[in-house]
Amino acid sequence: DAVLKLANLNFDIRNWPRARELYTHYLELHPNQPDTMTDLGITYRELKQYDRALELFDRVQKVAPDHWQSKFNQVIVLAFDLKKYGEAESVLAELKRLQPTNPDVARLAAEVDRQKKAAA
């Protein structure tokens, strides 16, 4: 667990390369941990490795289909980084089903809509 604590610390201070190393190592020891895989996906996003981030979020959803945080971050990558609004909206629909009263999800949906309209 010291590896995970150190990974989280590096995540918090935005030391993305080191966080990636530590999360990867932790997942070798403890595979299929949805929260850790999501944090690693966010780390890949911050490193501008969007495809790797999406791969992690997909993996999380295979292990834990109701893990809403991975879907939330998947929408961010699809909409804001890759400008794939159709795919983002598809994931967003599932996210809204999982978290119908979550204000963060509502804000995300509004921002995706705003960005999509601005891009049109």
Cα separations in angstroms, 109 against 53, 56, 61, 80, 83: 20, 22, 20, 12, 14
The three state secondary structure string of the chain is CHHHHHHHHHHHCCCHHHHHHHHHHHHHHCCCCHHHHHHHHHHHHHCCCHHHHHHHHHHHHHHCCCCHHHHHHHHHHHHHHCCCHHHHHHHHHHHHHHCCCCHHHHHHHHHHHHHHHHHC
Q: In 10 A of CB 76, how many CB atoms?
A: 20
Buried residues in 98-116 as b, exposed as e (16+ CB within 10 A): ebeeeeebeebbeebeeee
Q: Can you give the pTM of this predicted structure? A: 0.95
At 67-116, the pLDDT tens digits run 999 999 999 999 999 999 999 999 999 999 999 999 999 999 999 999 99
At 28-81, the pLDDT tens digits run 999 999 999 999 999 999 999 999 999 999 999 999 999 999 999 999 999 999
pLDDT value at residue 120: 85
